[in-house]
Structures are given as structure tokens and as C-alpha cells.
Amino acid sequence: MKRAFVFPGQGSQAVGMGKELADAFPAAREVFEEIDDALGQKLTSLMFEGPIEDLTLTENTQPALMGTSVAVARVLESEGNFKLADIADFVAGHSLGEYSALTAVGALSVSDAARLLKARGQAMQQAVPVGEGAMAALLGMDIDPVEELVREATEAGEGVVVAANDNAVGQVVLSGDKDAVARAIELAKEKGVRKAMMLPVSAPFHCPLMQPAADRMAEELAKVTITPPSLPVVANVTASQVSDPETIRKQLVEQVTGRVRWRESVLYMGEQGVEQLVELGTGKVLTQMVRRINKDMNGTAIQGPADIEAFLGSL
């Protein structure tokens, strides 16, 4: 059976994330210690104990989610006595989850990924003053009508608004200037969208307003070594596979302002014969999306020791 490992993005964080893994497995503890050392910060204390207000700060959330996902991957490998590449055909990650995917298959070191994500979180937060940007979820409207909606909202007034995340069938996220996003929400309601709501985020991710953050990440990514991954990575910005290190570097910069093409990424993996998506890390967001995108694909989430045992027993 063809399988892909996938890695969640921002929004899946929770106090206590990774603690069961660290308590049970040396391989997980090694990942968390490496991240703490790389950042010069006890990020693991924040992950295990909170407070949630500090964990939810973008600069903490991003390396924390990566660390938990990579810890699950390392435990799977050590307990199963295999490498991910032995039992899978692709990896992919949602937004920051792409860094988790690249780290899990050896393209980035854990230390470099942690430092990059700390910088990415800071740069994204600083790119747009708090209160000026916004993101909104549209439920019950697919990407083509949303793109038409965005065109109308852009023509009707000032400001940037784009389709930032094409997550699943009938689940698209807008991003941009607060007033422009609000205008798009009103248009969506007029067009009969099932639900349109502002999201509680601190910045308008994956839109042209993030260009200062993209420039910063170009500088940061230029400093690190990227090696060929042991499995092809399905990239957010193209929804197709990539293994060339310099292309990966370029696409990680583009990803900051570009659309997260998650629905297309899952469809692409299905076209390549993938039958099972295995989500590694905190939460089950990607697993819940799978059936809405491809009904023939099976999704499963691995978070803690019991999930790891069950998965290894199924192989």
C-alpha cells in the first residue's frame, strides 16, 4: 500500500503537546532537547505546561508543532526499526508543517528547522501591524467561486484579499487587509456561503502582505544546508513533488506569501497511488480533511504512545 506521512500546521497546538512522547521514549526526548538547545529557550516547558497564551505566540507555536511532529517520526523509526522512506512514498506538511516534513526526511536538521521556524514566526508577526490584517474561513464554497469573489472584493475597494488556504472541498481561507477581508465576507454571505467567519489569528498569513517576512526567510534559508530528502516532498506552493535542495529553498520562501494548496496536494498524492495519509504530531486536522478531498483515501493520526503502538501493529 502506498502511504504518505503528513504534518499539521498552526492551530493544532495545545498545552501538554509532546509530553507523553517525552515521558515514554528517549528518541522523543532527544528531539525536544535539541530544539531547546538550538533556541536557547525551554520551549519544552512551555509545550508541556503552558501557559497557552505564550505557546500560541507564532514564534513559539511553529517550532513547537515541528518538534512534536518530528518526535513522533523519530519514535516510529526507533520503535519500528525502519526509516520513514522504507514504508512511505511521500511526505507533505500544511504551511509550517512543510518544515516538519523536510526535517522528518532529513532535508533539514532539527536545530536548523527550529531556528528557521522561530525566525519565520517572528517575521510573520512583524510583517503587518497587529489589527491591520485578518484571515477568514469560508465554509461551503469551493476555490473557483472564491477566486471570483476575491476579484469582486478587490475591485469594490482598497486593500489586499486573497485565497490563502485551499484546504478541502468547501473549505477555503481568505487573508489580507482587515477591511478587504470583511468586504469579501459580506459578498460571500450575499452569494449564499454556508458559513463565513473571521479567524483568531495574529497576522494575515499566506498573502502578499507577508512579503517582508518572505524577504527575511530568504536571508535565513540562505544560511542553512538543505540536503536531498529521503522521500519526495509535496510542496505547498505547487502541489507537486520536489527533491532538489535549491528548489526546496526557493519554494519555502514563496510559501510565505503563496497559497497553501492542500486540497490539490492530497489529490496529487492520490493520483500517484497513495491510499493512506498518516498525520504525525498534534491534533487530527489533516486527517479530518482527507475524506472531504478524496473518499478513497484512508487517514489516520498518530499523536501519542497508544497511536504509535497501534500503527506499528498494523504494518
CATH code: domain of residue 8: 3.40.366.10
pLDDT for 291 = 87
Cell numbers that stand for 171 in this block: 473549505
The pLDDT of residue 202: 80
Average pLDDT over every residue of 109-132: 95
Would you say residue 128 has pLDDT above 90?
yes
CB 295 within 8 A of CB 262: no
**CA–CA separation, 298 and 293 (whole Å):** 11
Q: Determine the Cα–Cα distance for residues 102 and 253; give it in Å rounded to an integer.
A: 14
pTM score: 0.96
Parent domain of 20: 2-127+209-314
Identify whether residues 189 and 226 lie together within a single domain. no
Distance CA 195, CA 139 (A): 5
Q: Are 188 and 154 in contact (CB under 8 A)?
A: no
Stretch 79-102: mean pLDDT: 97
Q: Which of 132, 114, 126 is nearest to 42 (CA)?
A: 114
Last residue of a domain, one of 170, 201, 232: 201
Q: Which of 12, 95, 202, 265 is catalytic?
A: 95
Torsion, CA 213, CA 69, CA 268, CA 220, rounded to 10: 20
On whether both 27 and 70 belong to a single domain, the answer is yes
- Least trusted range by pLDDT, from 190-194, 252-256, 266-270: 190-194
Taking only the tens place, the pLDDT of each residue in 20-53 is 999 999 999 999 999 999 999 999 999 999 999 9
pLDDT band at 131 (very low <50, low <70, confident <90, very high): confident
Is residue 19 located within the same domain as residue 165? Answer: no
Q: Quick one: 94 and 230 in the same domain? A: yes
User: C-alpha distances in angstroms, 130 versus 72, 125, 143, 189, 248?
Assistant: 34, 8, 27, 26, 30
Catalytic status, residue 111:
no
Same domain, 138 and 72: no
Q: Please tell me the total count of domains within the chain.
A: 2
Residue 164 and residue 217 share a domain: no
Question: Do residue 219 and residue 283 come from a single domain?
Answer: yes
Decide if 66 contacts 108 (C-beta within 8 A). no
Mean pLDDT of the chain: 96
Does 296 lie in the same domain as 156? no
Q: What CATH number is given to the structural domain containing 158? A: 3.30.70.250
Measured over all CA atoms, what is the biggest interatomic distance in the chain, rounded to whole angstroms? 58
Give the C-alpha separation, 250 to 236, whole Å: 12
Residues 191, 215: one domain? no
CA distance 222 to 224: 6
Q: What is the mean pLDDT of residues 251-277?
A: 98
At residue 130, does pLDDT exceed 90? Answer: no
Q: Are 160 and 177 in contact (CB under 8 A)?
A: yes
Q: Report pLDDT digits (tens) over 180-239.
A: 999 999 999 999 999 999 998 888 999 999 999 999 999 999 999 999 999 999 999 999
206 noted as active-site residue: yes
Picking from 159, 185, 201, the residue at the C-terminal end of a domain is: 201
For residue 200, how many other CB atoms are within 10 A of its CB? 8
**Active-site residue among 12, 69, 100, 206?**
206
Are 146 and 117 part of one and the same domain? no
Cell numbers of 315, please?
Answer: 504494518
